[in-house]
Amino acid sequence: MTQHFAYQALPSRIVFDTLSPALLAAELDRLGVARALILTTPPQEARGQEIARMLGNRGAGVFAGAVMHTPVAVTEQAVETLRRLGADGVVAFGGGSTTGLAKAIALRTDVPQLIVPTTYAGSEVTPILGETEGGVKTTRTSPAILPETVIYDVDLTLSLPPRLSATSGLNAMAHAAEALYARDGNPVTALMAEEAIAALARALPRIVAAPEDRDARSDALYGAWLSGTCLGTVGMALHHKLCHTLGGSFGLPHAETHAIVLPHAMAYNAAAAPEAMARIARALGAADPAAGLFALGRQLGIDQSLQAIGMPADGLDRAADLAVERPYWNPRPIERDAIRRLLARAWAGDAPEA
Ligand code: NAD
Check if 116 has its Cβ closer than 6 Å to any atom of ligand 1.
no
Q: Which of 57-71, 170-184, 260-274, 313-327 has the lowest mean pLDDT?
A: 313-327
Ligand 1 centroid to Cα of residue 328, in Å, is 24
Whether domain 162-348 has CATH 1.20.1090.10: yes
pLDDT at 301: 97
At 162-171, the pLDDT tens digits run: 999 999 999 9
Ligand 1 centroid to Cα of residue 301, in Å, is 20
* Confidence check: pLDDT of 290 > 90: yes
Bridge partners (DSSP) listed for residue 39 = 63, 92
pLDDT at 206: 98
Check if 41 has its Cβ closer than 6 Å to any atom of ligand 1.
yes
Residue spans of alpha helices (H) in the chain: 21-31, 45-55, 72-84, 96-109, 162-179, 187-209, 214-233, 238-250, 254-269, 274-284, 289-300, 316-324, 336-348
Please state the atom number of ligand 1 nearest to the C-alpha of residue 232. 40
* Confidence check: pLDDT of 3 > 90: no
Q: What is the mean pLDDT of the chain?
A: 96
pLDDT at 134: 82
CATH 3.40.50.1970 residue ranges of the chain are: 13-157
Mean pLDDT, to the nearest integer, of 223-239?
97
- E strand or H helix at 150: strand 149-152
At 16-49, the pLDDT tens digits run: 999 999 999 999 999 999 999 999 999 999 999 9
Ligand 1 centroid to Cα of residue 86, in Å, is 27
Ligand 1 centroid to Cα of residue 284, in Å, is 25
CA distances for 40 relative to 20, 49, 156, angstroms: 18, 10, 13
* Confidence check: pLDDT of 136 > 90: no
At 293-322, the pLDDT tens digits run: 999 999 999 999 999 999 999 999 999 999
User: Do 313 and 343 touch, CB atoms closer than 8 A?
Assistant: no
Q: Which of 71-80, 155-164, 287-296, 321-330 has the lowest mean pLDDT?
A: 321-330
pLDDT at 215: 98
pLDDT at 328: 86
Check if 97 has its Cβ closer than 6 Å to any atom of ligand 1.
yes
At 40-98, the pLDDT tens digits run: 999 999 999 999 999 999 999 999 999 998 999 999 999 999 999 999 999 999 999 99
CATH 1.20.1090.10 residue ranges of the chain are: 162-348
User: Do 277 and 283 touch, CB atoms closer than 8 A?
Assistant: no
Ligand 1 centroid to Cα of residue 2, in Å, is 41
Please state the atom number of ligand 1 nearest to the C-alpha of residue 129. 41
- The residue whose CB lies within 8 Å of the most ligand 1 atoms, and thus the one to mutate among 40, 123, 229, is 123
pLDDT at 326: 81
Check if 113 has its Cβ closer than 6 Å to any atom of ligand 1.
no
Q: How far is Cα 238 from Cα 290, in angstroms, rounded to an integer?
A: 14
Ligand 1 centroid to Cα of residue 333, in Å, is 31
* Confidence check: pLDDT of 137 > 90: no
The CATH code that applies to domain 13-157 is 3.40.50.1970
- The residue whose CB lies within 8 Å of the most ligand 1 atoms, and thus the one to mutate among 254, 262, 302, 309, is 254
CA 249 to chain centre: 19
pLDDT at 135: 74
248 pLDDT band (50/70/90 cuts)?
confident
Percent of the chain topping pLDDT 70: 100
Please state the atom number of ligand 1 nearest to the C-alpha of residue 167. 25
* Confidence check: pLDDT of 1 > 80: no
Ligand 1 centroid to Cα of residue 325, in Å, is 28
Which residue's alpha carbon is nearest to atom 34 within ligand 1?
A: 69
Check if 138 has its Cβ closer than 6 Å to any atom of ligand 1.
no
Check if 71 has its Cβ closer than 6 Å to any atom of ligand 1.
no
351 pLDDT band (50/70/90 cuts)?
very high
SS3 assignment, position 178: helix
